[in-house]
Chains A and B, each alone.
Chain A
Amino acid sequence: DGGITQSPKYLFRKEGQNVTLSCEQNLNHDAMYWYRQDPGQGLRLIYYSQIVNDFQKGDIAEGYSVSREKKESFPLTVTSAQKNPTAFYLCASTEGLAGGTDTQYFGPGTRLTVL
């Protein structure tokens, strides 16, 4: 079955540590996205990538970094510079390069907790 996988499902981090969240898709989609979800809030865009080796900042990119070395993979690193990283992180993809007008397909998410 095609879809998006994210790992791990739960992640605990000590303050000052960098952590990397994995996102893999086998839908052959061109574009991939990372969102952050906080309780009672909608999704906020962190980064997105339309093609391999290219990505753009979203609304809340500070303290995060990404890479897109392969079409199917778009890992997100939460760095120690992110002041409040505890949140639920969702990865998504869309088929074409049209960006946000395409339907987004989401992974199951990673819940990150900073201890």
Chain B
Amino acid sequence: AQKVTQAQTEISVVEKEDVTLDCVYETRDTTYYLFWYKQPPSGELVFLIRRNSFDEQNEISGRYSWNFQKSTSSFNFTITASQVVDSAVYFCALSEDPNTGGFKTIFGAGTRLFVKA
């Protein structure tokens, strides 16, 4: 069965601290896609990254970095030197290959990040 677990419900850090948001997934497919979205207080989800199951390279984009490890079924997200503007709910999502099982995207429950000044 397809499942995404974000065990951290809320995280609170002080500005400039580094913070890692955990995401663990379950899937039977060998081809799948993982996503991270940010939901600021305005409500609109903003796309951050998309990664397919065959690309295990870590990615860095400015202060953001992602660590994809198939061996542990994890796709963790790290914010370096956090800022108040990073305060939001972050969702991890998993999509399976539609050719094998039809369209299905599962979102984790989200992690609410508070960054205090």
Is the A/B pair a real complex? Answer: yes
**How many angstroms from the CA of A107 to the CA of B106 in the assembled complex?**
18
Residues of B within 8 A of A (CB): 4, 9, 33, 35, 37, 42-47, 50, 91, 93, 95-98, 102-110
Residues of A within 8 A of B44 (CB): 90, 106-109
Residues of B within 8 A of A109 (CB): 43-44
Residues of B within 8 A of A45 (CB): 105
Known A-B contacts A43-B107, A48-B103; A103 and B43 likewise in contact (beta carbons under 8 Å): no
What are 7 of the A-B contact pairs (CB < 8 Å)? A40-B110, A42-B93, A99-B95, A101-B96, A101-B98, A103-B50, A104-B35
A105→B110 contact, CB < 8 A:
no
A104→B109 contact, CB < 8 A:
no
B43→A108 contact, CB < 8 A:
yes
B45→A100 contact, CB < 8 A:
no
**How many angstroms from the CA of A76 to the CA of B42 in the assembled complex?**
21
A60 CB, min distance to chain B CBs, angstroms: 13
Residues of A within 8 A of B (CB): 40-45, 48, 56, 88, 90, 92, 98-101, 103-109, 111
Cross-interface CB contact of B109 among A41, A106, A108, cutoff 8 Å:
A41
Q: Which residue of A lies closest to B46 (CB)?
A: A106
Q: Which residue of A lies closest to B49 (CB)?
A: A103
B103→A100 contact, CB < 8 A:
yes
Known A-B contacts A105-B47, A108-B42, A109-B44; A40 and B9 likewise in contact (beta carbons under 8 Å): yes
Cross-interface CB contact of A103 among B47, B103, B110, cutoff 8 Å:
B47
A33 CB, min distance to chain B CBs, angstroms: 8
Known A-B contacts A42-B91, A43-B91; A90 and B45 likewise in contact (beta carbons under 8 Å): yes
Residues of B within 8 A of A103 (CB): 35, 47, 50
**How many angstroms from the CA of A75 to the CA of B97 in the assembled complex?**
27
With a 10 A CB-CB cut-off, give which of B43, B93, B106 has the most chain A CB atoms: B43
A99→B107 contact, CB < 8 A:
no
